[in-house]
Structure 1
Amino acid sequence: FSSITYAILASSSSLYLTTQLGKLKPKIDAINKREQAEFKHSLASDLYLAQSTNTAIAQYLLADRSSSLSSEQAVESELLNDSVHQGFSENVDSVQNSSELLNKSVQTVQNSSDNELSPLAIEHFEDVLDALEDGLSDSHIIKNVMGFKNYRYKEGKNVLNEIKRFIDLDG
């Protein structure tokens, strides 16, 4: 009789604990998803800042190369010696080639930033993430959480979709 009682108590306690763990699983999943989204957000912010810095550096170098190229071309027109002119022409060609490479790298940096969040989406990312975890409707998030009402509703809808797309693509 005691072994039957023990078996019933063990199975009932096991059933109770399984039920309690089942209630905790969605909360644990939500916490894990939030941690992943926050990490992706901080990583995206860091990448956005790095890309902005790289773009600024590339534009500065491009402007610097362009100004040095124009000054070198002015000096070239004043030179009379053919041998000096030939060597200078090769230098101008190498500057033009490096200028083209720099232009391509600037375009690559700008194209890679298309996969990142816009500054407006970054600004509202945390609040939208909290609201999505709470199960609020899109309309409520756009109007009350993000503050896009009336004529700005469509803009808010676009930002919300961008954040959702970012979470789903990276999630």
Structure 2
Amino acid sequence: MEAEQPGTSSGSSVSVNIDNDLADEDFLLNDEAAEIARLQLPEENQQPQEKLDPQEEDERIAKIDFRCSACDMHELVHYFGRQPPFALGIKYREDTFVMRDPFQPPPSRWQSKPEFYVAMGANCSSCSKVVCKDAACSFYYTRTVCLPCGKAELKDWPVEAQARLRKQIAALDGDKDK
């Protein structure tokens, strides 16, 4: 291969032969793992990868399994408890399954800005089954109860709560008739 030597004018060209010191045998790999190990940096020269704080690891990824015992709705949620860290200023009266709004872009990590969220459900306060917030599955009056427990405990509740639950059950029965 010929190349123009630096510092020469374009009118006169000097050719230099560049010899390739590598032979074809150098490109043949017999043991791929040994070749990879040979090419890697020694451990003391490698920079250790920073381990992230568990809270910062991937908080945007939902990891808590939520499955309604009444309608069998299944979803992964971000938080279970009373005070979701991404919904600033919100505190529930009972432990609740909460999901970040999947249709909103995530806020910047360094901004403490409230996010939109969806309260998916809670445990029934009587039988402890997981129920969603759908009217066909649960009823809320100071605490969440599944509809079967709500019907069983109806007589023990205040009159206004009884009226609301009866209205909800009548609306569900009316929907089933159609």
Q: TM-score range by the shorter chain?
A: under 0.3
Greater fraction strand: 2
Higher relative contact order (CA 8 A, sep 6+): 1
- Higher-Rg structure is 2
Q: Structure 1 length normalisation: TM-score? A: 0.27
